[in-house]
Amino acid sequence: MGAVGSSSTSSRVMCNNVPGLVTRQRQLCQRYPEIMHVVGVGVSEWKAECQHQFQHHRWNCNTHERDQSSFGKLILRSSRESAFVYAISSAGVVFAITRACSQGELKSCSCDPKKKGSSKDSKGSFDWGGCSDNIDYGIRFAKAFVDARERKGKDARALMNLHNNRVGRKAVKRFMKQECKCHGVSGSCTLRTCWLTMGDFRKSGDLLRKKYNGAIQVVMNQDGTGFTVANKRFNKPTSNDLVYFENSPDYCIRDRDTGSFGTAGRVCNQSSRGMDSCEVMCCGRGYDTARITKMVKCECKFHWCCAVRCKDCLETVDVHTCKAAKDAGWNEKT
């Protein structure tokens, strides 16, 4: 800290040009300039995961161009979708920072220094070895950086975001697992070295997707210090539940105010009965069908040993896309 010189000057210039940072985030950026790149990687990872989780839904985790700044406020109000976005974005930052620590990409952290010496588990004693992912560092940094946006406002929305950010961070820690390697005569496992490693980010994505389904609608309590469940028939939210205030729009029609892109032009599935069916996806507006021809692998045969060889075949498929809303097309009223 307090370093003077060209590198601190250039990081100040860089940090002043990252759009959408609050003051505290700008300070963290200046102090840890190399972390900003990792935060950026985390952002593209959580966006991809979010889009994967919601690919068959009307809301497919698209964000408006002007919200593309890492942590620019998404215009999703305080809906269930907003709860998911806050949680998965926090999880993404935890994941990216922790991985970068293990890969030696950051000056301020490394593998977990506490996982040293020997320890015991149900199978007996072992030595910590290799590199244990430093999840606590990832969580601390993500908390400081991501939560900074909410520190100023002590309003309901800020409390909701902080709560969901925390659910996201925990969704990464939960999949930490111990891996071990056996040593000793012919793999007898008389000696073991073990390390802690993060699971695949997909696991956190799947978990948060389930939490989205079970998210709990809340209202502020009387003294404004926390939440109570909006509908008394449901359970109170715990620190593991996603919480939201407002009902979601149906996401059928484009509407900037609610962050809805609408489903015009989205691909739907004619044989599905789920959320991606043409009925549900197109909100009853109907769909257009285009016949397209594409190259696919076919007649694949297994060759001893060990290859699979396929032919290229042309396949014709129908692609269905949702029509736009009637009143949006001025030329339909000729």
Ligand X SMILES: *[C@@H]1O[C@H](CO)[C@@H](O)[C@H](O)[C@H]1NC(C)=O
Interface residues with ligand X (CB under 6 A) are 269, 271-272
What is the C-alpha separation between 111 and 209, in angstroms, rounded?
Answer: 29
Q: Nearest distance from residue 117's CB to ligand X, in Å?
A: 51
| DSSP summary character for residue 325 | P
- Count of other CB atoms within 10 angstroms of residue 32: 21
Nearer Cβ to ligand X, position 258 or 272?
272
Q: Nearest distance from residue 296's CB to ligand X, in Å?
A: 12
- Angle subtended by helix axes 23-31 and 33-53, to nearest 10: 120
Which of these, 321, 295, 291, lies nearest to 310 by C-alpha position?
A: 295
Whose tokens are 């309003």? That residue is 155
Nearer Cβ to ligand X, position 226 or 274?
274
Nearer Cβ to ligand X, position 122 or 271?
271
What is the C-alpha separation between 142 and 188, in angstroms, rounded?
Answer: 41
Per-residue DSSP letters for 41-79?
A: HHHHHHHHHHHHHTTTSSS-----GGG-STTPPPS-TTS
What is the C-alpha separation between 332 and 256, in angstroms, rounded?
Answer: 24
Nearer Cβ to ligand X, position 111 or 278?
278
Q: Is 304 left (phi over 0), alpha (psi -120 to 50) or beta?
A: beta
Nearer Cβ to ligand X, position 62 or 272?
272
With b for 16 or more beta-carbon neighbours within 10 A and e for fewer, the 201-229 pattern comes to beebbbbbbebbeebbbbeeeeeeeebeb
Rg (CA), the chain: 25
The tokens for 141 are: 């940094």
Q: Nearest distance from residue 271's CB to ligand X, in Å?
A: 5
Nearer Cβ to ligand X, position 310 or 317?
317
Q: Nearest distance from residue 272's CB to ligand X, in Å?
A: 4
Which of these, 83, 40, 45, lies nearest to 201 by C-alpha position?
A: 45
What is the C-alpha separation between 32 and 108, in angstroms, rounded?
Answer: 8
Nearer Cβ to ligand X, position 27 or 269?
269
Q: Nearest distance from residue 322's CB to ligand X, in Å?
A: 15
Q: Nearest distance from residue 321's CB to ligand X, in Å?
A: 13
What is the C-alpha separation between 170 and 219, in angstroms, rounded?
Answer: 23
Nearer Cβ to ligand X, position 240 or 270?
270
Whose tokens are 């484009």? That residue is 254
Nearer Cβ to ligand X, position 223 or 318?
318
Q: Nearest distance from residue 294's CB to ligand X, in Å?
A: 12
Q: Nearest distance from residue 66's CB to ligand X, in Å?
A: 32
One-letter identity of residue 41? V
> In which element (H, E) is residue 27 found?
helix 23-31
Q: Nearest distance from residue 277's CB to ligand X, in Å?
A: 8
26 by Cβ neighbours in 10 Å (0-12 / 13-18 / 19+) ranks as middle
